[in-house]
A and B are shown apart, each in its own frame.
Chain A
Amino acid sequence: MPHDHDHPHSHLPSDPALRVKALETLLTDKGLVDPTALDEIIDLYQNKIGPQNGARVVAKMWSDPAFHKMMLNDPMSTLQDMGLYGRQGEHIVFVENSNDVHNMVVCTLCSCYPWPLLGIPPGWYKSDAYRARSVREPRAVLAEFGVALPEGKKVRVWDSTAEVRYLVVPQRPAGTEGFSQEALAALVTRDSMIGTALAQEPRA
């Protein structure tokens, strides 16, 4: 085990952008990294995988009772069929908000997050403050996001300590009867699927 004060990484340049560049160049020269493969990875998480995927699932859950039941009980094979499977999303559990319970997801030990459904996590999700406080004072954290829960509603916080990834199913807003799945999906924000927001209200 390396000594705590003599880590190899300390040999790299101190400016982080230069550090990344130096490592990429070294690994490319050693044949361990193909820069065009890095471009592909970035393209995948920038353009193909993101919260629009999770929003599509939530909108379908709101619209289709059989699909809703499947997602709550045994979602993985259906998610695979929908192309919503992959690294950091091999074991998904949907947790549904109700009039009684508001769910919220965190990873206090690192930054576990359902990549195939939500993409790469936002900065605040990875911050010390969110990791530290959401398990201890979730209502104060929700207030910082502008969320006030009705009196009597319980908060259940899911700390992602294993390879299981949790996705919050927000409550369907009133006034959306008859909406298409596409129109519903537009109301399902990333933060509403982490549990730091509610689904958006439809425009009057």
Chain B
Amino acid sequence: MSRIHDMGGRLGTGPVDPQDGYAFGEAKDWHKRALALNVACGFLGQWNIDASRHARELLDPKDYMSFSYYEKWMGGLADLMVEHGVVTGEELASGQAAGVSPIAEKAAKPEMVEAVLMNGSPYTREADAPKFTVGTKVKTRRITRNVAVPDGHTRLPAYAAGAVGEVVLQHGAHVFPDSNAHFKGEAAEPLYAVQFSAQELWGGEADPRDEVVLDLWQSYLEPAQ
């Protein structure tokens, strides 16, 4: 099994509520501040996007299910801050800063925010040529897990573990989250869009016409017959 964030296929969640669809401009003020705080703290350069996803995944399952979306972000952010020594647990508990941070000069400045965010942060890298081509039949790892870090971050959802699909797109080589989330280097690998028939994933309950496509790194895959 995987952690609680791995939601694909889970039963019992109830219907989707299309009415919960207001634009960001109409969000509660604290939602906006929570999003902005998370984005701004990324400027400090103490972690990466994979580590911040993993921090949210490490929330206690009881918290994960009871927290609203931005509460998960705040929980993950506070945990990362302490883990990386940016703030101490005592500072969080008391709300009192024990002095100005030695990395304060990295803080996001209002005049640079738009340029930095619009500049993006591409994840493609030079790496070995891809082993698979479009049309190759591949089988995903079973079970899903990070093979280098016990209980570590990975991006193969449990519902697609051990399934046979077909490569439909080559995306080039991308930073490998299983390594990058744990600060073990970017370790870029070829990334593919792999298409599965819905029945391969869900059995006879699925519509035989339907398909699901996932982006999967090369080391999640082996050739299939």
Contact = CB atoms under 8 A, between A and B. Distances in A.
B159 A145 contact: no
B7 A108 contact: yes
Interface string B129-143: 000000000000000
B60 interface: yes
A11 B89 contact: yes
Contacts of A87: 39, 117-118, 120-121
Interface of B is mostly: mixed
Interface string A1-45: 110110111011000110111111111011111101111111011
A161 B214 contact: yes
A126 B5 CA distance: 11
B216 interface: yes
B114 to A, nearest CB: 6
Contact of A36 (B95, B101, B110): B110
B37 A23 contact: yes
Given A32-B104, A161-B215, A90 B121 contact: yes
B41 to A, nearest CB: 7
Contact of B212 (A21, A111, A153, A157): A157
A139 to B, nearest CB: 6
A177 interface: no
A154 B39 CA distance: 38
Given A8-B82, A141-B16, A160-B215, A90 B68 contact: no
Contacts of B76: 9
16 contacts: A8-B79, A23-B78, A37-B108, A39-B36, A109-B157, A122-B21, A122-B22, A123-B17, A128-B13, A139-B210, A159-B213, A161-B155, A161-B214, A161-B216, A162-B171, A162-B215
Given A34-B108, A127-B13, 7 more contacts: A7-B78, A37-B107, A93-B169, A109-B6, A123-B69, A159-B212, A162-B177
Interface of A: 1-2, 4-5, 7-9, 11-12, 16-17, 19-27, 29-34, 36-42, 44-48, 50, 83, 85-87, 89-91, 93, 106, 108-111, 116, 119-120, 122-124, 126-136, 138-139, 141, 144-146, 152-164, 190-191, 196
